[in-house]
Every structure is written in C-alpha cells, then in structure tokens.
Amino acid sequence: MRQLVPLTTSVAVVKPIAAGGEKDMWILKGLLSGSIIFLIFTIYYLKSVIGPSQSGRAIGVSVITSTTIHQPLFWLTFLVVLAAAVMCARMLQQFT
C-alpha cells in the first residue's frame, strides 16, 4: 500500500552568489577603471611626445619603450592611478 506524503509550503531561499561577493567587487572595478584611465593617458602622452616628430618617418620601438616602460616615473604614475581608482571605487561602494 502507498503512503501519502504531505506537501509542504516552506521554500528555502537561496542567496545568489553575487550577493556575497559584491562586497569585494570594488577592488576589481577600481583596478579595471584605473587601467583604462592609465591606458588612455598613456596613448595621449605618446601622441604628445612622439607625435611632433617629422611626418613620414618611422619611429622605432626603442623610442617608445624608452619613453614609457624604461622610465621609473611611468611606473610610479601607473601605481598612483591604480591606487586612486581603487580608493574612488571603495568610497563609491561605501555610499551605495
């Protein structure tokens, strides 16, 4: 003989995964926005430094690397922009 199993109306509520990880998402948002800002300003910097050279002439890779990645100020600026963007993202996350 079969037994009847009573139906229950209780439903377990499961929180989405994003709700728990949302508190740390500001780090990723800050790093991504800082990297994009730094990339835009690096392109602008290269156009202003290398751009005034004679038109129709090629520019070597060594010129580009010597004005960017071989300069300590370039890396210091990169860290400052990333830190500022992460701090801004953190402040915006606290107010929302």
* Res. 10: pLDDT tops 90: no
DSSP 3-state of 21: helix
* Res. 72: pLDDT tops 70: yes
DSSP 3-state of 1: coil
- What per-residue confidence (pLDDT) applies to 1? 60
* Res. 38: pLDDT tops 90: yes
Q: Is 74 exposed, middle or buried (0-12, 13-18, 19+ CB in 10 A)?
A: middle
Are 8 and 55 in contact by the 8 Å Cβ rule? The answer is no
Which has more confidence, 11 or 29? Answer: 29
Residue range 33-54: average pLDDT? Answer: 89
Query: pTM for the full model?
Result: 0.69
- What per-residue confidence (pLDDT) applies to 24? 77
Distance, in Å, from the CA atom of 39 to the CA atom of 78, rounded to the nearest integer, reads: 9
